[in-house]
A and B are shown apart, each in its own frame.
Chain A
Amino acid sequence: MDKKKEKISEEQLVLIAKQDRKNFKYLYNLYYERIFLFLLRRSENEDIAQDLTQQTFIKAMINIEKFEFKGFPFSSWLYRIGLNELNLYYRNSKKKRAISIDSNEFPELAEELPKESNPSLTYENLIKAFNFLTEAEVTLVEMKYFEKRSHQEISEILGITVANAKVKLHRIIKKMQTKMIKIS
Chain B
Amino acid sequence: MSEENKYRIRVNPKKPNTKEIREKMDFKGAYKAYTHKVYRTPWSRFARHSSKNRKASMLIILIIVVGTLVFIESEKEFKNNNDALPTLYDSTKVKQDSINSK
Interface residues of A (CB under 8 A from B): 21-22, 24-25, 28-29, 32-33, 36-37, 40, 44, 46, 50, 53-54, 57-58, 61-62, 95-103, 127, 130-132, 138
Contact = CB atoms under 8 A, between A and B. Distances in A.
Tell me whether chain A's interface is mostly helix, strand or loop, or mixed: helix
A105 to B, nearest CB: 10
The 5 closest A-B pairs by CB, nearest first: A131-B6, A96-B8, A61-B34, A57-B30, A32-B25
B12 A103 contact: yes
A41 to B, nearest CB: 8
B10 interface: yes
5 contacts: A24-B27, A37-B15, A44-B8, A57-B30, A58-B33
Given A21-B34, A58-B37, A127 B9 contact: yes
Contacts of A138: 7
A100 B16 contact: no
Task: Name the residue among A28, A50, A61, A138 with the largest chain B CB count within 10 angstroms.
Answer: A61
